[in-house]
Structure formats: C-alpha cells, structure tokens
Structure 1
C-alpha cells in the first residue's frame, strides 16, 4: 500500500508530532496568522484532520506588532503523564514560552515564559522527571543551547550551555531531543530552510552531552538533487504502536525554472530505519518521494479536500485565519444570520496593521475558489473582495469599491513597488460572485451576477510572482475575504454569503 506526500499540503511548515496510544497529534508554525499553531489529529500518520489551534486567545498570542513572517516560529508538541505541552517562540513579542492542557482540543493554558533566548524551542522530559529546554540562536554563536527548567513555572534551574554546534552547515536550528534506549539523540536542521536544507543528528549517553555526530549525516536532504520535492528538513520523530519509527518534516514543491514555490513549506512523512550501529536514517537513504510505501500502517479513508462554508455556525471553521490579532469591530458571524460580515478598517492589504481579513491557505496548485459578496459602499474608498495574498507587498485582488461616487468592480495587482488596477468596470448590482481559477502557473480572476451564471474573465496573475523566491518570507499563499476603508473606517458592511474551495487536481 502506498501513500502520497505531502500528508498536509499548503503552508504547514515546521511540523512537530507526538503520539498518545493510537492517536497522533501534530502542530505547525503559523507566523503572523491568528489563531496560532494549527493542530491536527490522525490515526494513521497519513490522513490528518485539523481539530483547532493551540493559541486561540489574545492573551496567549499578541500579533499586533507582528511583521510579515514574524509571530509564531517552530512549535514542539510533547505528551507526558496525562498532559500535552506545546512550546514555541513569538519573535514579535514575548520570546519563548509553552502552554499545556489535558485535552488537545483545548482550551490550552496561559503562556509560561522561559528566560532563554533563541528560537525553535524543544521540551524534553526525561524518565526521572528532569525537564530540558533546548533552543537554537545566534546570540553567542550558532548551535543548540540547553538549560534545565521547572515545568510548573518555566524558571531555569541551570545555566544555558551549548551542547552541539551541528556539522558545520549554516543556521543550525530546530533541535529535538529524544531518549531511545540508553542513548539520547539530538536532531537538528542545518543549511537554512531553503534548497540547502538538511537534517543531522548526534547522540550522547547524557541529555546534556557531549554529543557525537552521526557518521551518516545528513540523514535527510534533497540538496542538489533533481526531484519534485526540495528543501527537506526540520524533522521530528515518532514511534508507532508497532515499534516502527517515522519522521514528519517540511519540504516544498517548486515549479518552473528557475524553481520557485508559492504554496509554502508543507508537511511530509517518511519511515525511519536504524542502522546496525544505532543511527536513524530518514526515508530512502535520506531521500523521499511523492509516493511512498505505507509499510505496516493501516490507512484510513482519505478526506475530500474540497469545502464550502455557508457561515451558518457560531464560530469560524478551523481552516480560517485572521491576519494578525483580530479586532472585534472588523467582523461578525451573528450580525446577519448565515453571513460573514466584514467592516473595513483603515488598514489596507499594503500595510502590516490589522486589516479586516479572514482567509485560508491555498493547499493545491489546481483549485477553484468562489465567494458570494453583497456590498453597497456608501463612501468613497470603501472596498471589499477576495485576495490572493502572500504578504503586504505581493498580492492580487478582485473587489467592489466606490470611487468618485461610482461603484466599480476592479482587479488589481501589487508586485513589490509596482501597483496597478489592471481592469475595472462599473457595477450597479448589490451582490456579485467573485471567482478565482488556479493552476500551477496562473490565477484567473472573474465574476458573475449569480452562482449559476458563467464566469466573466476579468484578470490574470502569475503564481510565480507570489513565490517565496520573489516575495520573500516563510509563509505561503492565502485566499482571503477582506474589506478596507483605504485610510478610513468603513461604515458599509461587506456580507459574504458563502465561500467555496474546490480541488481540481
């Protein structure tokens, strides 16, 4: 039996995993998006369901000052003695902290901060109850730095010491510490989270070292290889109930030449084998494929990735995110029944403030997106629509706006310092269906008067212009409903009746 990679597609980087009985739980980085740290559950390691987020309250996660690709970095999830722990870094404010719960569906505790610099924190609880906190940082040199902490308070119980510098690759990061038998294994990523990414490992008889480097390093890397998957790294290990080991890790699926990727860093899965001398090797001698043998895994039913949201619930579905910390006056699910209502803030998509924005990740190269919008702008500058968004400098949008007293439908592109309304037409109707058809190279934007009418082609944008290699950063493309007053707070509600995401692959 085979499974397909990635197991969680789209912008889901820096995976970390733990197992409790027959259940697996996985978390990812979320950067400037709120709620923070998407949380997934699986029974088979291949089919994952998002069951919520770890950081759901503003007192857990303050993103008001988060820059693009700031915010939440590289969480680690662990389970011990009936409790789940997630530790992470808010690089835009607060530093390293952890939260805990006895039910992963939440609520999770308030943050417990750790006085230790760096990013990508790891929490390891040894058999004797000692707790080791390991980070990577450049404050005094590159490598993995560790201290012992009090798990109840987060207070350090020892000095911070360097325990391993890695093998010499740039940016040694994402440390994870494991105990397997009598050995402690320290796994890190090196080479930067780009095309030179790789996973390395060392071991010691003690959790604080000294560590000896694996003679087979790197144990995972696709650097300089002609493969559809690249930038493999930032791995975490888990042991299945049958005793076999597996690794989750990030990778990208670039397109074109020179290569570029816009879906973001995704979550991949591969088996782990152990050498005769006791070293772990990920995948097929350190490489992985889009199709992999499932081994002894009993695979469940694959879920349909297409979805339609009619906004008739009391809370937003787990797939939705705000851009930075949400402001309650910007949105509502209850103001009008079965409608998502947005009120434009003064902030635009070209800024790093709290724009009225509710979006989901683009998870497939080929997909069709549509949303029904009712919007009657009363003031010049009021605007609402849907955007294909990488960051404040790279995005496309199709929207209804008012200009010089006239209501218009517009298609606009923002590519770095280049900004232009590419198409516009007068629009007198109160509602419109806005559509996007995507493949791996291009977005096609269009509109229709109602759901049953054929889409009118209105604009195009290259996927490659939103790629990380062009736009920069650590995230991936979002498809979002948004509203703005373009410098003023809007008085006119933008009401979205439904939003549809259909997979075409």
Structure 2
C-alpha cells in the first residue's frame, strides 16, 4: 500500500492526498482512471524501467507537465517542459533518440504550427521552441523507420521526414495512410483522423489512430489500428477495428480514444488513452489504462471491457507516490506542477510569488476573463476548496471555477462589495461585511456550486445567497477541449495576498 493512501472500498479507488482518488487498490489490482482530471491526448515514453507521460495543456502555462511512473498505474509529476507561451498546445509527441529527449508540440495560434523542444535530461532544462513551419497538421508522432530515418506522422494519414537531428523537416508532408471507415449510421462527432501513435513489435509497425471526433456524442471517439512491415507502408487496416469504442451512454467512460500501445514492465502490453467520465465532461479527458493481448495473427486487442471494474495491475514495476496534493501552504510557488496561468503574457510569472505562507498576486485586468487567473486541476466529481484572501485598496480578488475567459463562475470582492461571477460575466454586487480580508469556500458537489464566506479565518461561515449549476461548463457547450478548474484571481490595482489554500475531495 502506498504511503498515506486510505484503504479502498470494494470496486472503488483508494484515497490519497486531499482525499483524491488513487488507482492502485493495494491488492494487485487497479481501478481507472490512472490519472484523474484533465489529462488529455496522453503521449507516453518507455525509457528503460521508467515511463514518462505528458498531455495537451492548451492555454495553461507553464505547460506540457512531465509525469513519471514505473508501473503504468501510479504517476507523479516532475515538472513542466514548456515555459514560453507559443499558443494553445494540442496533442504532443514525447520521444527519446540517441540519448536526447524530444517533444513535438502542435499549437493553435496565428499561424498554427508544430514546434520542437529538446533536453538531455527529462527533468530539463528544455530548449527554446523551434518552429517546424507545419501550419496544416496537428497531432505529430515521432518514429524512427527500419532504415534509421526519422519521421513525424501527422493528422489525416500524412507524414513528413525529419532531419537527422530532429530539429527541422526535410521536404513537404505526404499522404501515406487512409484510415478505416466506420459504418455510416454510427453516431459520431466527425471522422477526424487524428492522434497517430506508432509502436513497434517484432517485425511490425503498428499505427494507432483516433477517429470519430474527440468529444460530441459519447459514442463517437474510437481507436483503430493498422500495421506494416515498413514505416513506408503499405498499411493494412486491422480486421477487428475499432479496438475501443464507447457503445452505450450507460458505460462508465465516454469518448474513449487517442491511444498509445506500450510494453509493460514485465513485457506484457497495455494501452493508455483518454476518456470522459460519464456525466462529467467538466472534468476533461482523464487517462485510462487498458490491458492488451495479441491475437494469433498478430493484432492487438484491448481486453479491459468498459473499464468500470478493477483490473489486474501490470506485472513487475514499482509504484511511486501517486499524484500530488492540491492544498498549498504557499511556502514556495509551485508554478508548473500545482498551478498554471491561463493565457499568460511573457512576464506573467513575475506577477506572483510565494514565501512564508503567503502567495502575492499583482492585480491585472478587471475580472477573471482578463486577469490570467492562476488555476489548478481538480480530479474529483465532488470537491471543496477554500482560501484566505486579503486585498489592497483598489483590488478585486476571489476564487473561481474557470473553463475559459467566456465561461466561468465564482465569488470575488473589493473593500465594500462582493462581485458574483456567473456564466462568464460579472453580475450581482451585494454589500461585503468583511472588508479587505476574508476566507472564501467554494463547493462543487457534482455540478452544484455553493459559496461560503468567513470573517474570522474559517471559525464560522455564512452561506452566500447565490449558487450555480455547472454541468454545462464543458467543451460540447463552449468548445476548446478544456475542463472546469479551481483557481484564484486578482484584478484592478494593487495586489492580493492568498493564504492557506485547501482542497478536499468529498
């Protein structure tokens, strides 16, 4: 049993930091998700006995947080690989070649492109981003062919050759693969061939692709496979496609897809991919682990069913302490692991500092939509977070549940009045009886949001008389592929000081 983890109830995850979900049940079995909360488009690297993963980080910076595991079930963060804001980061590719680590990063910006950064150690430091000038593709996958040539496979069944050092392209993208087509009467979002991931086993290269659309109807997203003896093709579609698909909205996990095949610690095989938890699009796409067996004719089959019940853990490997606490005493500024800014400016990190139990954030903008709030990733269907907040004259600050700059809710205050954030707008302004210092509590209990305030440091609480229902704060309503995230903001003039941030899953 991992240190600090509470025992699991039958079929339920154990509880760890802040009562958060822990997938390792402590009895040789695990329960999905292996990384709860928004960890979409997983990019996985096996490096000896170690596994590393990173994810689409979109408009959050520092971004591309690297996570580490030795058993594929328990994961802990190392730190961010991408510091400078280069745009909205979509599905990346993490690779190691000739002793160097590479991260290929597609961004939605003006113009769109794919960048590469590199490091000699997974912990960094990572290089500045290099623009590969690929404006028409997303979702790169680095692979080395049988002749040693380096390639990026791309969305839509295309690829482009890389230079020997992996830091530039050679020639232009070419089309090399036509993905398998599902029956025309299936309920999907769109065809959208994306997320290519290539694994090599024996004499075969296996090309895993996502089709059906990342979100939209729960039955849309799916995993398909093809194989070739050469990286140059031709590619043979799997006769068992799709390998994974949500077939019924009653299933525990929706929109399952964007998979990678990975060899486990003892030589067995597994698939890591993402999915939405049934009824909780607001939590974003969570990372799931599915056992793989190989058919007699050499095709992968995923055998975890709908992933709603405990499964046997991968053999071998050693667990690491899973996850991280979200509660923060602010003895240091955990920027890039626990916290990230939304759409930060180049010097955004200079706005905030933490020392001696106080996080100070210089005010920016007027409200959450233009203040680059500081956000964390919630991993639970019900949770509560609270923090003590003190403001300067002219400052407005508070706590938010933030999807993006046009969809958020929360409670802030200035020296004389509260400000109620609803539907991505600033609305009610009732009188503030606490002045320039108070403790605020936000509870999100399965989409029902309530606020409480305290003028005596949390000894007594008063329920604020405006609540919210936030089940619609997600991609299928707003777009953007994001999640609803707890956060802190400071607007106006001056600064706000935050103390004793606590998070607890309910």
* TM class by smaller structure: 0.7 to 0.9
SS of the aligned residue for 1:340 comes to: strand
Deviation of the 1:337 alpha carbon: 4.4
Correspondent of 2:478 among 471, 474, 481: 471
Correspondent of 1:461 among 441, 465, 468: 468
Q: More displaced, 457-466 or 211-220?
A: 457-466
5 Å-filtered alignment, 1:176-195, equals 176-194=197-215, 195=218
Q: Distance in 2 between matches of 1:88 and 1:252?
A: 23
- Tell me if 1:451 matches 2:457: yes
SS of the aligned residue for 2:52 comes to: strand
- Tell me if 1:483 matches 2:490: yes
Deviation of the 1:307 alpha carbon: 3.7
SS of the aligned residue for 1:154 comes to: coil
Correspondent of 1:95 among 102, 113, 130: 113
Deviation of the 1:224 alpha carbon: 3.2
Instruction: Give CA deviations for 1:460-503 in whole Å, capped at 9, x if unaligned.
Output: 11131313333332010111110122xxxx1x211112211112
Q: Is the 8 A contact 2:362 2:496 kept in 1?
A: yes
Q: Distance in 1 between matches of 2:322 and 2:158?
A: 40
Deviation of the 1:450 alpha carbon: 3.2
What does residue 86 of structure 2 align with?
62
What does residue 371 of structure 1 align with?
387
Deviation of the 1:41 alpha carbon: 0.5
Alpha-carbon spacing, 1:445–1:503, altered in 2? closer, same or farther (3 Å): same
Q: Distance in 2 between matches of 1:319 and 1:233?
A: 26
Alpha-carbon spacing, 1:392–1:161, altered in 2? closer, same or farther (3 Å): same
Q: Distance in 2 between matches of 1:399 and 1:323?
A: 18
Deviation of the 1:338 alpha carbon: 3.2
Q: Across the two proteins, how many residue pairs are aligned to each other?
A: 464
Deviation of the 1:356 alpha carbon: 3.9
Deviation of the 1:79 alpha carbon: 1.9
5 Å-filtered alignment, 1:333-348, equals 333=353, 337-346=356-365, 348=367
SS of the aligned residue for 2:431 comes to: strand
Deviation of the 1:154 alpha carbon: 3.2
Q: Distance in 1 between matches of 2:449 and 2:167?
A: 47
Deviation of the 1:72 alpha carbon: 0.3
- Tell me if 1:85 matches 2:102: yes
SS of the aligned residue for 2:117 comes to: strand
Q: Distance in 2 between matches of 1:494 and 1:400?
A: 11
5 Å-filtered alignment, 1:213-228, equals 213-228=237-252
5 Å-filtered alignment, 1:232-311, equals 232-255=256-279, 261-284=281-304, 287-297=306-316, 300=319, 303=322, 306-311=325-330
Q: Is the 8 A contact 1:200 1:219 kept in 2?
A: yes
Q: Is the 8 A contact 2:70 2:320 kept in 1?
A: no
Q: Distance in 1 between matches of 2:238 and 2:109?
A: 35
Q: Distance in 2 between matches of 1:86 and 1:426?
A: 48
Q: More displaced, 312-321 or 1-10?
A: 312-321
What does residue 4 of structure 1 align with?
31
Deviation of the 1:324 alpha carbon: 1.1
Instruction: Give CA deviations for 1:57-78 in whole Å, capped at 9, x if unaligned.
Output: x2xx324xxxxxxx00001111
Instruction: Give CA deviations for 1:437-458 in whole Å, capped at 9, x if unaligned.
Output: 2221311111112334132111
Alpha-carbon spacing, 1:80–1:289, altered in 2? closer, same or farther (3 Å): farther
Q: Distance in 2 between matches of 1:387 and 1:427?
A: 20
Correspondent of 1:362 among 358, 364, 378: 378
Q: Distance in 1 between matches of 2:385 and 2:434?
A: 23
TM-score (norm 2): 0.86
What does residue 406 of structure 2 align with?
393
TM-score (norm 1): 0.86
Q: Distance in 1 between matches of 2:117 and 2:107?
A: 13
Alpha-carbon spacing, 1:253–1:314, altered in 2? closer, same or farther (3 Å): closer
Alpha carbon RMSD of aligned pairs, Å?
A: 2.2
Deviation of the 1:225 alpha carbon: 4.8
Q: Distance in 2 between matches of 1:503 and 1:328?
A: 30
- Tell me if 1:430 matches 2:436: yes
Instruction: Give CA deviations for 1:398-419 in whole Å, capped at 9, x if unaligned.
Output: 11125xxxx112333125xxx4
Correspondent of 1:147 among 141, 160, 176: 160
Q: Is the 8 A contact 2:59 2:343 kept in 1?
A: yes
Q: Distance in 1 between matches of 2:295 and 2:349?
A: 58
Q: Extract unaligned runs of 5+ from structure 2.
A: 1-27, 183-190
Correspondent of 1:130 among 143, 149, 154: 149
Q: Is the 8 A contact 1:46 1:299 kept in 2?
A: no
Q: Distance in 1 between matches of 2:348 and 2:477?
A: 34
Instruction: Give CA deviations for 1:382-412 in whole Å, capped at 9, x if unaligned.
Output: 411111011122211111125xxxx112333
Q: Distance in 2 between matches of 1:391 and 1:445?
A: 20
Correspondent of 1:26 among 28, 53, 57: 53
- Tell me if 1:501 matches 2:475: no
SS of the aligned residue for 1:470 comes to: helix
Q: Distance in 2 between matches of 1:298 and 1:455?
A: 47
Q: Is the 8 A contact 2:62 2:336 kept in 1?
A: no
- Tell me if 1:409 matches 2:430: no
Correspondent of 1:198 among 222, 237, 256: 222
Deviation of the 1:201 alpha carbon: 0.7
SS of the aligned residue for 2:151 comes to: strand
